[in-house]
Structure 1
Amino acid sequence: MVKTVTGEESHLTAFETQLSQSGVPVQVGLAVGKLNADLDRGYVFGLIPTPPNDHGQPACALLEGGPDKRKPSKGKPPKDSAPSLEIDIGWVAEHARQVSKMLLGSIHVVGIYVWAGESSFKASSVELWQTAKAVSAASPFHKECNPIERILIHISYSPRRWSCRNCILSSSSFASTSFHPCDFKTGKILSGLQAFRCVYNFEMRIPLSYKDASNQNTCKDAIHKGITRHAAVLKDAQALVDGNLIYDGQTCSSDGMHEVELLLPFMNGRLTDACSGSEIAGLLVFSGSVYASTYLNPKESIAQAISDIKADIITSLRSRLDIVSDEAEQMMPVDSSDSSRIDDDSSHAKSVHPLLSFDLRKPFSFSFPRRVLLPWLDGIFICDYLQPFEEFKDTKERCKELMSMDVVSDIEFLEPETTATASVAKSFWDVVLDCSRSVTNQSKGDKKVRLTEESNSTMSKFLHWNIVTAGIFLLLSVTVGVWMLFLSNDHKSQTI
């Protein structure tokens, strides 16, 4: 359980000054940083206010009169209840979900903060606990501890002070025991972080079965399962850091950016749950490159950085899938019952995005968003995902709205990766026919080779017999000649 929380001094001091000058009575937002259960420490890099909702209303307001509607006891006058906080919990949770997609590696939404008076804060413990729980559900860590915990930072202006509480979220009770006080201090933490990065090239070959089609599954479901399978493969991958193989418990003392290379287990890239030949309807190929990064505290081991890199790869792939899915669902026709089928013969028929369909009658391909990077705080980068039809100005708008950043026009964006694509290149029978053609061509080639070898063998045998026959004929001729010469000499001797 986190017992001590350290905040980045430079950012939090400037943030408090900005809050006091704004004149807003209350404000709620997200705390971004790291929680390390092994060290019992938390780190807050920055605080991000939740923007107004779609109707222009703030995410937090004062509710006059308070929630206490109990009848006063006899003989005791009623006490004036402090104005409590009214929080748009769903909107704050949605903000956390969007921000979590823009964070790299081990950086997470670690909790919430609230700017309010002391009395209003104490009167809103249930509301704040529910908000912290909703934020945790919307932006989970890749490796949650048990019990789940988040932090709640209270910035009080009357009196002026900072305090921090640890929210234990696994309990179903809303009692005050769900909050545990923890020490809060500020310091220079961003300058001591060590950066690790990895460019990971991948190719997933995902079989699509008729069984999935009959169960009304989609290509989105198949890609999601493929990413989950790939996560299991990636978990066992070895890593090289700056060209050196790491070992358990090893720490890193050098500064600068550290390069990570992942080595997949031998033969583990093959399909692990391929369907039988009679069930396969097609093959979906999902390929591209992922830029992954993480930031390590000097007290953490390099193994933690490798684990964060692997988790960042899988989280990034799932985030892109969600973005494309949301885009595809917005393109869905109004009457989905009639438009779920793709009619090739009808020019006015509305087609469904390939990601949400299971039509394999013709090959298709679509691109996934690519990850771009931009600086955030003191050398810390955040990311965004650009669709093929988007530009950098779209990223600037999202950063301004979600991260409360004043993005300058000449900010430098980094584009470290290529576009990831998903495509169904061939149906099952196309694959089978290609294989059979290949086998046929190979057999024809083998037959030609065999014919050539047989003809060469026949010619060799023919030449061999010709030589033997000529030798026998020569030997017979010499024998007959010698025999005839012997008979001639014998006849001459008898005549004399």
Structure 2
Amino acid sequence: MGRIVYAEESLFNYLESLITSDAYTVGLILGQSTEEKDYVIHLARTPPPASKDVIEETLIGSTANVPQECPVKYIKSINDVPINWVADHAKHVTRMLPGGMWVLGIFIVAPEDCFSNKDSTQKLKSIVTAIQKNLELDPYLFGNNPRENVILAFNSITTRLTCKSFDVNGSGSLKNADWKFQSKITRWYQLETHLDFNKIFAIIDDGESDSLKKQLQNIISTTSKEIESAIVVIEGEPKPSDELIETVWNKKKQDRKELKNAESKSNNQSLQATIYIPCNTNANKCSTEIKLINCNASIRLTGQLFSRTFVHQKATIKEAENAIRQDIMRSMASRFEMHWDSLIEEENGLPEENITLHEPPRRVLIALPQNKITLSDYLFPGEGPQEALISLQELLDVEVQEANVQKEIELQVDPAEFYCEKESGNEPDEQRKLSDNNQLIFFISGLGVALIFVVIAILIHRLY
């Protein structure tokens, strides 16, 4: 028996809207995957390239490199579909997906049956393979998704749908898949948590200057190991990994009824998760050896990362926990990558006696119209909700109102306050308690602040 793919009924209307005479349209299938089933939450048309040199660009969604006089290039043949362009589109869309959601495959709207032609079939397989390989280059973004990919072909003349599944790392053969449109494919359970950061990462003085990009990659790697070893507790108490998430929800709902506090509708409520990161296991080992490490700088990562994920109604506690872990690392890695790509000049090493404040983009959420699942966008300082709407239109082919952008989940930091405190020498009591070796700590009070990090340069710092 092949895979079963469930999709919202409204997505069929979307496919019909993409029919354009003899043109070909390619896009991404987004959703959640299980062993035998896929739940599709959205179909996102890949924007056609404006010119040949745009195909070489790695940032879809940026209009800075698109000459205004270049007309949009319509794809007249499946052989003209730019594979790398679609693969790059998949990478940027994956950044916007919550943990536990992936690019499940591709769809194509064409005036032919693409699977009846050997060359067309091979082209579709090549696109899927390129997407998979491109995402696997960034494990924090990709997460762990060993499922088969799906390919949906929609004949714009006969309006006939054909779906196949394809394992990139398997035999390479296509299998029949059953695509089903339904009014409600599943009940989605929403999980929310936040992760507080307040940690110093030493930059070892080994005679070589690592770039800021390399330093941040090391921080991501360290954080990933901590998150993998962390304990995720949903609704306040540990639960068996094979327990269904709907069981937890039903218990919460019953408890609320008993407390007579169930005014809100269930689909607007969340399950709360807490993350416990274990202490360093090596700290308990006795050792008489004292090791001095010379450092020429340190990076202090401080702030709060907000996480919101969704799982289908038959998901287990283990699947929910994995989705939360994936969401945290996907969000963190996306911010850092966007930040170092935005730097005009690469920062090699860190200057002595210099303090630099870096602000990676903060997270905002936008709900999909058909199922209310929220996707992410990331806004740099000075950017507003309008930029998120542009990204949503270009990358996901969705139009929403600015009022639907949830922009207050992470608040933007005022850098002026940081520098004023530094110049005046006044520190909050909590900040003074955390200060070590006269290092300046950028202390952030309150909840829901954006994830930021401070690069602190010092002469020599000794760690024990």
Cα distance in structure 1, aligned partners of 2:84 and 2:74 = 12
CA distance in 1, matches of 2:94, 2:105: 12
How far does the alpha carbon of each residue in 1:391-427 deviate from its partner, in whole angstroms, 9 at most, with x for none?
A: 2111111111111111224434232122222223352
Quick one: which of 6, 14, 30 aligns to 1:32? 30
| TM-score when normalising by structure 1 | 0.70
Specify the alignment match of 1:232 in structure 2: 225
C-alpha distance in structure 2 between counterparts of 1:167 and 1:391, whole Å: 40
Hey, what's the Cα distance between the residues in 1 that align with 2:405 and 2:362? 16
Structure 1 match to 2:409: 416
Query: What amino acid does structure 2 have at the position aligned with 1:371?
Result: R
Of 362, 369, 373, which aligns to 1:370?
Answer: 362
Q: Distance in 2 between matches of 1:251 and 1:424?
A: 43
How is 1:90-239 mapped onto 2 (pairs within 5 angstroms)? Answer: 90-123=84-117, 124-140=120-136, 141-145=142-146, 149-170=148-169, 178-189=173-184, 192-211=187-206, 214=208, 216-239=209-232
User: Closer, same or farther in 2 for the Cα pair 1:153/1:58, shift >3 Å?
Assistant: farther
* C-alpha contact (below 8 Å) 1:60/1:86 kept by paired residues: no
304-313 or 113-122: bigger deviation: 113-122
User: Structure 2 CA distance, aligned partners of 1:264 and 1:406?
Assistant: 39
**Structure index of larger Rg:** 1
Greater shift in the superposed pair: 118-127 or 282-291: 118-127
Aligned to 1:61: 75
- In structure 2, relative to structure 1, the CA distance for the partners of 1:276 and 1:323 (3 Å cut) is farther
What is residue 336 of structure 2 aligned with on the other side? 321
> Is the alpha carbon distance of 1:60 and 1:260 closer, same or farther for their aligned partners in structure 2, counting shifts above 3 Å?
farther
**Alignment-derived partner of residue 86 in structure 1:** 80
Residue in structure 2 matching 1:241, options 234, 237, 251: 234
The alignment partner of 1:244 has SS state of: coil
TM-score calculated relative to the size of structure 2: 0.74
Q: Does 1:389 align with 2:386?
A: no
Q: Distance in 2 between matches of 1:248 and 1:54?
A: 48
Aligned to 2:322: 307
Offset, 1:234: 1.5
Q: What SS does structure 2 have at the residue aligned with 1:265?
A: coil
Distance in 1, matches of 2:307 and 2:192, equals 6
Instruction: Report how far residue 60 of structure 1 moved.
Output: 6.4
Q: Equivalent residue for 1:472?
A: none
Contact map agreement 2:99 2:324 (CA 8 A) in 1: yes
2-structure distance, mates of 1:269, 1:320: 30
Equivalent residue letter for 2:167: I
Q: Secondary structure at the residue paired with 2:338?
A: helix
Q: Distance in 1 between matches of 2:106 and 2:89?
A: 11
User: What is the Cα deviation at residue 120 of structure 1?
Assistant: 4.5
SS at 2:85 equivalent? helix
Write out per-residue CA displacement over residues 369-404 of structure 1, whole angstroms, 9 at most, x where no aligned residue.
110111113211111111112121111111111111
Q: Which residue in the other structure is 1:260 paired with?
A: 273
Q: Could you tell me whether the CA contact under 8 Å between 2:24 and 2:75 is conserved in 1?
A: yes
Aligned: 1:46 with 2:45: no
Residue 438 of structure 2 corresponds to which residue in structure 1?
none
How many percent of aligned residue pairs carry the same amino acid? 21
3-state SS, counterpart of residue 368 of structure 1: coil
Conserved? CA contact 1:62–1:86, under 8 Å: yes
Shift of 1:180: 1.5
Unmatched 5+ residue regions in structure 2?
52-69, 137-141, 250-265, 411-448
Q: Which deviates more from structure 2 when the two are superposed, residues 84-93 or residues 301-310?
A: 84-93
CA contact (8 A) 1:48 1:404 kept: yes
- C-alpha distance 136-269 of structure 1, shift in aligned 2 (>3 A): farther
> Residues 17, 360 of structure 1: CA spacing in aligned structure 2 closer, same or farther, 3 A cutoff?
same
Aligned residues of 2:195 and 2:306 also touching (Cα < 8 A): yes
Which residue type is aligned with residue 5 of structure 2? V
Contact 1:155/1:163, CA 8 A, preserved across alignment = yes
Give the whole-Å Cα distance in 2 for the aligned partners of 1:224 and 1:210: 17
Aligned-partner Cα distance in 2 for 1:218–1:30? 34
Aligned mates of 2:373, 2:24 — CA distance in 1: 28
SS at match of 1:250: coil
Q: Would you say the 8 A contact 1:51–1:402 is kept in 2?
A: yes
Residue identity opposite 1:46 in structure 2: H
CA distance in 2, matches of 1:2, 1:286: 46
CA contact (8 A) 1:7 1:45 kept: yes
* 1:61 aligned partner, one-letter code: I
Secondary structure of the equivalent of 1:200?
strand
Q: 1:57 to 1:28 in 2, by over 3 A?
A: farther
Cα distance in 2, alignment partners of residues 19 and 138 from structure 1: 26
Shift of 1:240: 2.4
- Say which SS state the counterpart of residue 279 (structure 1) adopts: strand
Flag the structure with more relative contact order, 1 or 2, with Cα contacts below 8 A and sequence separation at least 6. 2
1:282-302 Cα deviation digits (max 9, x unpaired): 221112211112211111102
Cα 1:251–1:192 change in 2 (3 A) is same
Aligned alpha-carbon RMSD (Å): 2.7
When residues 187 and 96 of structure 1 are mapped into structure 2, their CA distance, relative to the original with a 3 A threshold, is same
What is the deviation of 1:261?
0.8
Q: Cα deviation per residue 1:2-22 (whole Å; 9 max; x = unaligned)? A: 62211122x2222133134x5
